[in-house]
Chain A
Amino acid sequence: MRHFARVLSVGLVAALLTIVALAQTPGEGGIIIEGNFGGDPANLNPLLLNDTASARVAGFLFPGLIGLNPDTGNFEEGREDALVYDWEISEDGLTYTFKMRTDWTWSDGTPITSKDYQYSWDAIKSGKLQSPLNFIATDIIESVETPDDETIVVTFKNLSCTALSDASLPLVPSHIMPADFAEINTLEYNLNPTVTGGVFKFLELRPGEQVALVANQDYKGALDGVMPTGFIYKVVPDQTVLIEQFLAGETNVIDGAPVNRRSDLRANPDVNLYDFPGNAWDYLALNYADPKNPQNGLDENGNLIDQGHHPIFGDVRVRQAIALALNVDDIIKGAVFGEGTRMNGTLVPASWAYADDLPPIEHDPEAAIALLEEAGWIDHDNNPATPRIAQGALYAPDGTEFSFVLLTNEGNTRRGAVGTIVQSELAEIGIRVDFQAIDFNTLLEIMDSQEFDAFILGWRNGFPDDPDQTSLFTSSGDVVGSGNNNVSYNNPRVNELMEKARIYPGCDPVERAKIYAEIQAIFQEELPYIPLYVINGQYGARNTVEGFDPRPSLLYWNVDTWTVRAP
């Protein structure tokens, strides 16, 4: 009994403490300060924004349209923190009818309605915006109708399993927006968004220093009010200083700390960390087709074109040999200090379609040499230091040296390290790599022209992520001058599977995942890309921050409940 009383009293104290903690008033929970390496936001108008800093800030300022379940990363009906609470899909799968909440308001008191959505759509459709969203009007959505204030009817041009994501157009306060859409591009509002509707309101932007936001207590998505006082996005242009400021408590949140400093963060007792498989991945691309005569994948009638072969990489055995020769674990160690996860193909491990049972290619230099010999690339002088030469190779005349140009974009230490290691490891099996880091835009032009041997680059998947890679690895994407399938990978079976999965009726993830697993198995044989790694994501917060509870790619999903203690 006595014992029980003690337990009870301890319990009481705990309960009291909880109450004290809970009793904090909304809007007085302290300031969240995140270091910003990227520079000032260039444009906070969600219709126009095109840089990560702007996306971060605008994410706080504008209401979410369709809710995401933070645990699954999938769209979900009925979420309290999103405007749309329900939707229906037509028989043919092309028309979505969304129902919006009616009690949400912009910060000047005007209700948020479907008119705002209609305005965004009309603006994008007008083609007058300098916006990265323009493709939605040209390629994705056919029409939008808003029969009443709470209903949005979106009709798509084609079936797609990414419809919900595509329909999530940003909302802007249409009642203060100009009637002539062209004027949106140069609005004062774009860097001084006075009327907003998100969890925070805009306070000030001090160029080169910080963007400051304060809690918006009229935000309906936060059931218990918005706890933090505000949010500051503080510009710190030097990476070393960025992390030192976080370690010293000058900032209290960090997103994606430099990989070489993450072990310091882990060793720091005052810091809470959340590591997750990221969505940015690097790869080594080898050209399949003849770089001297680049051609499209398909002719006007949709038939495959014989594009000739890359003298070295046209032979799939050579590609396999290179994949075997690379020690990807070492590359991960060297390029991202171990803060990366090996990929077995071209899908990120965080994706629901990732084929867990497909092991990544083993590092096996011996097998690589054997394959090279078999493919007719021989070490003619028994000197591994000199490049192999062709003797009976499929597409290279006898005597050709095994040497190629490997490109990457300059100014990226990580890819610089990957290239240096690739160069060094391939040298061990008699392959000479001329590794060059060049200007990013130049590299893009060379890639588009398809006149390259090989390059190292990366993709950052969107969020939420869909496993569709039609533009990367099917013949329709093999277009000289613009297509993303610049390695000219053309496999009719993959074309077919990719299309089947893309428009799978009902979009059932389990069934789609099976198709993607089949594709990945083919990729591991034919290697359109040599898969490398995905860079792990990492969020960090000082332990003065309460409520920090991220999910993959969702750092601030519950930011309305955060509080920051004085250190």
Chain B
Amino acid sequence: MATAATPVANLEVVEEKRTSESLFRQALRRLRRDRLTLVAMFVLFIIGMLSVLAPNIQAALGVSYTRTNVTAAFLPPCIPFLGVGPAECDPRHILGTDDLGRDHLVRLLYGGRISLSIALAAAIISIVIGVGLGMVTGYFGGIVDDFVVWLITTLNSIPSLFLLLIVSAVIITNPNFSGTFLSGPFALVLILGFLGWTGTARLVRGETLSIREREYILGARAMGASSGRIMLIHILPNLISVVVITLALDIGSLILVEAGLSFLGLGVKAPEPSWGNMLSQAQTYFNKGPHLVVFPGLFIFLTVLCLYVIGDGIRDAFDPTQKD
């Protein structure tokens, strides 16, 4: 829009500058100065590392995320050197215990493994589909384009949660799939992944449409480069910022979606912990063990917040209209 008024000669210069390399470096430079995004990345890294290290932390603390002990249920958080918790609490249970006496912190970390990996895997699936379809349809157009656009419009017309409700009901509770890979968290990954690609596809399709007409693409085509090569080498790198931003935002919203589905009884099934099912189950215990409501909520909130901030930060960093 803004470039419409710029002289053509200038446009070429702009394009030259916009090759992926320099843009990428420029973005990195901007990111390095964006404190908020850096903090968010750091917090996210810590949460991720803690989740990855859950078994080690469990072993180090000498607690268990599966072993029940109802005589030690609803213990409050206990961090003696910070003065948190009653006088003689058990310091092994840093964040206390849940309704069945399982260690809350370790459960949260195991829950994090599940929630994060579901969200990450689903986001990757939806981005791969979205970028693939978006690029192909944007580049080739024609009947494939028409079909995919139709599919996107159709899927977007059904409120997403309703669509998720039906698909989870059809797949997860289907007796024919019981006991197979389609009944566990993996099914959730597939469902979320295969339903979430439309936004990305539309975005990528739009970008591809505009990139396709650029001079260097036309040049490459004139030099006989194959379509696949053009898409991989000349178009895909231009989409990296879109992909990274969408990835961050998608993971964030998928964590929330999993929590919502858990509230409606269609998320990850207990006793397998996820942040969503821990939070939705704990809401009935809010007065017996407030910490059981606070911490899963906090983990979800912090993670999603960080991802959104990072998404925004990367968007700003890649935004060519931003001044250094």
Q: Residues of A at under 8 Å CB distance from B?
A: 239-240, 258, 260-261, 264, 330-331, 333-334, 410-411, 413, 416-417, 419-421, 423-425, 427, 435-439, 441-442, 445
B252 to chain A, nearest CB (A): 25
Q: Check if B175 sits within 8 Å of A330, measured CB to CB.
A: no
Q: Check if B66 sits within 8 Å of A420, measured CB to CB.
A: yes
Q: Check if B269 sits within 8 Å of A424, measured CB to CB.
A: no
A397 to chain B, nearest CB (A): 24
- A264 / chain B contacts, CB cutoff of 8 Å: 287
Q: How far, in whole Å, are A479 and B283 apart by their CA atoms in the complex?
A: 42
User: 1/0 per position for B266-287, CB-CB distance to A under 8 A?
Assistant: 0001110000000001011111
Q: Check if B270 sits within 8 Å of A413, measured CB to CB.
A: yes
Nearest A residue (CB) for B271: A420
Q: Is B173 an interface residue (CB 8 A)?
A: yes
Nearest A residue (CB) for B265: A411
Q: Which 9 A-B pairs have the closest CB atoms?
A: A334-B70, A442-B175, A333-B70, A439-B173, A424-B68, A330-B70, A421-B68, A420-B271, A442-B178
- B173 / chain A contacts, CB cutoff of 8 Å: 410, 439, 442
Q: Is B226 an interface residue (CB 8 A)?
A: no
User: 1/0 per position for B281-301, CB-CB distance to A under 8 A?
Assistant: 101111110000000000000
B160 to chain A, nearest CB (A): 21
Q: Say whether, besides A423-B66, A424-B68, A427-B67, A334 and B175 are in contact (CB < 8 Å).
A: no
Q: Check if B99 sits within 8 Å of A260, measured CB to CB.
A: yes
- A417 / chain B contacts, CB cutoff of 8 Å: 99-100
Q: Indicate which residue in B73, B178, B281, B284 contacts A439 across the interface (CB closer than 8 Å).
A: B178
- A442 / chain B contacts, CB cutoff of 8 Å: 173, 175, 178
Q: Check if A416 sits within 8 Å of B271, measured CB to CB.
A: yes
Q: Is B111 an interface residue (CB 8 A)?
A: no
Q: Is B101 an interface residue (CB 8 A)?
A: yes
Per the CB 8 Å criterion, the residue count for chain B at the interface is: 27
Q: Check if B284 sits within 8 Å of A334, measured CB to CB.
A: no
Q: Indicate which residue in A260, A420, A425, A445 contacts B285 across the interface (CB closer than 8 Å).
A: A260
Q: How far, in whole Å, are A177 and B71 apart by their CA atoms in the complex?
A: 58
Q: Indicate which residue in B67, B71, B179, B284 contacts A330 across the interface (CB closer than 8 Å).
A: B71
Q: Check if B281 sits within 8 Å of A413, measured CB to CB.
A: yes
Q: Check if A439 sits within 8 Å of B271, measured CB to CB.
A: no
Q: Is B183 an interface residue (CB 8 A)?
A: yes
Q: How far, in whole Å, are A473 and B170 apart by their CA atoms in the complex?
A: 35
Q: How far, in whole Å, are A303 and B38 apart by their CA atoms in the complex?
A: 77
B9 to chain A, nearest CB (A): 65
Q: Check if A420 sits within 8 Å of B99, measured CB to CB.
A: no
Q: Indicate which residue in A260, A423, A427 contacts B288 across the interface (CB closer than 8 Å).
A: A260
- B286 / chain A contacts, CB cutoff of 8 Å: 240
- A260 / chain B contacts, CB cutoff of 8 Å: 99, 284-285, 288
Nearest A residue (CB) for B287: A264
Q: Check if B178 sits within 8 Å of A420, measured CB to CB.
A: no
Nearest B residue (CB) for A330: B70
- A436 / chain B contacts, CB cutoff of 8 Å: 179
Q: Check if B265 sits within 8 Å of A420, measured CB to CB.
A: no
Contacts beyond the supplied A260-B284, A420-B66, A438-B183: 10 A-B pairs with Cβ under 8 Å: A240-B284, A240-B286, A260-B288, A331-B70, A334-B68, A413-B284, A420-B100, A421-B68, A424-B67, A438-B179
- B101 / chain A contacts, CB cutoff of 8 Å: 334
A63 to chain B, nearest CB (A): 38
Q: How far, in whole Å, are A240 and B293 apart by their CA atoms in the complex?
A: 13
Q: Check if B71 sits within 8 Å of A333, measured CB to CB.
A: yes
A-B contact pairs, 15 of them (CB 8 A): A240-B284, A261-B287, A330-B68, A330-B70, A333-B73, A334-B73, A334-B99, A334-B101, A411-B265, A421-B68, A424-B67, A425-B68, A435-B271, A437-B270, A438-B179
Nearest B residue (CB) for A243: B284
Q: Say whether, besides A260-B288, A413-B270, A334 and B183 are in contact (CB < 8 Å).
A: no
Q: Residues of B at under 8 Å CB distance from A?
A: 66-68, 70-71, 73, 99-101, 172-175, 178-179, 183, 265, 269-271, 281, 283-288
B56 to chain A, nearest CB (A): 18
- B269 / chain A contacts, CB cutoff of 8 Å: 410, 437
A365 to chain B, nearest CB (A): 14
B40 to chain A, nearest CB (A): 32
Nearest B residue (CB) for A258: B284
- B66 / chain A contacts, CB cutoff of 8 Å: 420, 423-424
Q: How far, in whole Å, are A416 and B172 apart by their CA atoms in the complex?
A: 17
B107 to chain A, nearest CB (A): 12
- A445 / chain B contacts, CB cutoff of 8 Å: 175
Query: A264, A438, A441 — which one has the most chain B CB atoms within 10 A of its CB?
Result: A438
Q: How far, in whole Å, are A106 and B73 apart by their CA atoms in the complex?
A: 55
Nearest A residue (CB) for B285: A260
- B172 / chain A contacts, CB cutoff of 8 Å: 439
Nearest B residue (CB) for A416: B270
- A334 / chain B contacts, CB cutoff of 8 Å: 68, 70, 73, 99-101
Q: How far, in whole Å, are A421 and B174 apart by their CA atoms in the complex?
A: 27
A495 to chain B, nearest CB (A): 33
- A333 / chain B contacts, CB cutoff of 8 Å: 70-71, 73
B294 to chain A, nearest CB (A): 15
Q: How far, in whole Å, are A439 and B171 apart by their CA atoms in the complex?
A: 11
Q: How far, in whole Å, are A417 and B179 apart by their CA atoms in the complex?
A: 20
- A441 / chain B contacts, CB cutoff of 8 Å: 175
Nearest B residue (CB) for A331: B70
B233 to chain A, nearest CB (A): 48
- B283 / chain A contacts, CB cutoff of 8 Å: 240
Nearest A residue (CB) for B100: A334
A540 to chain B, nearest CB (A): 17
Q: How far, in whole Å, are A420 and B270 apart by their CA atoms in the complex?
A: 9
- A411 / chain B contacts, CB cutoff of 8 Å: 265
Q: Say whether, besides A330-B71, A333-B73, A421-B70, A438 and B178 are in contact (CB < 8 Å).
A: yes
Q: How far, in whole Å, are A305 and B286 apart by their CA atoms in the complex?
A: 53
Q: How far, in whole Å, are A334 and B67 apart by their CA atoms in the complex?
A: 12
Q: How far, in whole Å, are A424 and B71 apart by their CA atoms in the complex?
A: 14
Q: Check if B70 sits within 8 Å of A419, measured CB to CB.
A: no
- B285 / chain A contacts, CB cutoff of 8 Å: 260
Nearest A residue (CB) for B272: A437
- A331 / chain B contacts, CB cutoff of 8 Å: 70
- A420 / chain B contacts, CB cutoff of 8 Å: 66, 68, 100, 270-271
Q: Say whether, besides A330-B70, A424-B67, A239 and B175 are in contact (CB < 8 Å).
A: no
